[in-house]
Amino acid sequence: MENLYYNGINIIDLAKRRKPQIYSVGNVTFSCSEPQLVSTTFLSSSSSFLSLPATPSASGGFAVRFQFRTWNPDGLLLSTRLALEPQRLELQISNSRLRLTHHMSAQQKEEVSTGHRVNDGLWHSASLSSRGLQVTMTLDNEPSSTMELGDHMGAGDSLYFGGCPSSSSSDSYCENPTVAFQGCMRLFSINSQPMDLNLVHQGRLGDYKELQFDTCSIQDRCLPNFCEHGGQCSQSWSHFYCDCSGTGYTGATCHNSIYEASCEAYRLTGSSSGLFSIDPDGSGPLGPTQVYCNMTENKVWTVVTHNSTDPVRVQGSTLQKPYIMKFNYSASPEQLMALVARSEQCQQEVVYSCRKSRLFNTWDGSPLSWWVDQGGERRTYWGGFLPGVQQCSCSLEENCMDMNYFCNCDADTDSWANDTGVLSYKDHLPVSEIVIGDTNRTGSEALYRIGPLRCYGDKSVWNAASFYQESSYLHFSTLQAELSADISFYFKTSAPSGVFLENLGLKDFIRVELSCESVDHTHTHTLTQA
């Protein structure tokens, strides 16, 4: 292991000097018995090249072997003239595969390909050899690919790696390609003779241009991975790219959700009732979830269902062995919390009928049944009443069947009673679990139904401001954005021009303005820095 750096700090140097920040376990020495591999870096995608002499072979053929690593999907690896002009061989990376091309004339050529994603940034071994009338290409441990040359011929005087010199100084056969090789090479061997790159660097062997010796300066731009929401990162020598397919997000780093954040936002786009995917935290870490948007009323309702919306009859439960039902919603708990927090109001209907099944009527007032909120807390108030009090809606409305009790079920009668109501304290919603503990006596039973979670409103949409004069403005603190930031707003105007947004700091950073002949509709505008 060599050149081990962490945040620019030489870890091996600290360990060698026995600095207290470094803790070594076992036998650690600071020399390498194996000969070090001398690498060279091809820096330019247009002008880098390495020229090495083609040492003669006793058999008349040639054999070339080397290792390479790169992120680029295209680039010339090797070009050599054959003894019979103007024929030449080119070994190159093309569309992430290794391709050998035999140019027989300006118009006639033959090709063979091998490999897959050889631009993965890892070291790969490539070899090219001729024997008789055949030339063989080998990549790593894959089966060799063979091409018929049609005539016995060896290599020319020079082998060009990575690219070609300028046309004024090079042999006419070596034409500078559109894309030269950018990456690293090492372990050059020509006709079984290893090539010493130190001699090349000293000017005593071959020729070169725009190379960096004794190092491989390739940079992994996908570590850390800046692609968000599961986007697949790929890279070239100088840039990284994100494949956002199937993530539900778009943009350079898969940052922008392709879905609206709420049913209210879908209504503003002109949609009608139906199933929609919403992304309640926008570009945040939570993915989209499917909900039903009911747009038939004045309020736009977002409806999230769970696994038990039909009425359920309960018998035989005690406080020691209660009946428990956990509700699994069509959205994750985190998505539900984001939806509830974003909404103006939420509610959930609890239909509860009972016969000789009490809720709170015990000698010490401890509950016999309860429900669990979104945070896992036990709640003992029932539909329609205020949080924190063991009462039902009939107590609030003062119409309980027995006014000695705060719930109809606590009258403990042989006839059916009802304590149905709507839970509307949204910080406790949705109901995640219900526990029923008093249906084990003769004639005892309960019937319940927990409705879907229903929310309306979007706090990020329902915060409008009207600008009546040209001097009107809203002022917020200067945007402090590091890796990413989001700004979004809806606007409605009949003015043909105006400044929407301007961020002023040491230098002007963002300015968004309107310039058109007529605008009389509502629009949405989103800015994203990623």
- Summarize pLDDT for 162-202 with one digit per residue, the tens: 988 876 555 556 766 668 899 999 999 998 889 988 899 98
Rounded to whole angstroms, the Cα distance separating 482 from 232 reads 22
| Res. 524: pLDDT tops 60 | no
| Confidence at residue 165, expressed as pLDDT on a 0 to 100 scale | 83
| Beta bridge mates, 329 | 306
Which among 240-249, 498-507, 510-519 has the top mean pLDDT? 240-249
Bigger pLDDT: 408 or 465? Answer: 408
Q: Please report the pLDDT score of residue 435 as a whole number.
A: 93
CA distances from 136 to 116, 130, 340, 443, 464 (A): 18, 6, 66, 89, 71
Most trustworthy range by pLDDT among 78-82, 335-339, 510-514: 335-339
Q: CB–CB of 118/96 below 8 Å?
A: yes
State the average pLDDT for the chain.
85
Strand partners, 223: none
Q: Where are the alpha helices (DSSP H) in 27-124?
A: none
Distance CA 77, CA 97 (A): 12
CA distance 272 to 268: 10
Query: Which domains, ranges and CATH numbers included, belong to the chain?
Result: 1-33 (no CATH), 39-213 (2.60.120.200), 310-456 (2.60.120.1000)
d(CA 45, CA 42): 8
Beta-sheet strands, E only, within 145-278: 145-148, 155-161, 183-190, 193-194, 207-209, 211-213, 232-235, 240-243, 249-250, 256-257, 274-278
Better-scored residue on pLDDT, 52 or 463:
52
Per-residue pLDDT at 530 exceeds 50:
no
Band of residue 42 on the pLDDT scale cut at 50, 70, 90: very high
Q: What percent of the chain has pLDDT over 70?
A: 89
Q: What is the CA radius of gyration of the chain?
A: 37
Distance CA 155, CA 57 (A): 10
pLDDT band at 37 (very low <50, low <70, confident <90, very high): confident
End-to-end CA distance of the chain: 35
Confidence check: pLDDT of 35 > 70: no
**Dihedral over alpha carbons 212, 215, 217, 219 (to 10 degrees):** 170
C-beta neighbour count of 268 within 10 angstroms: 17
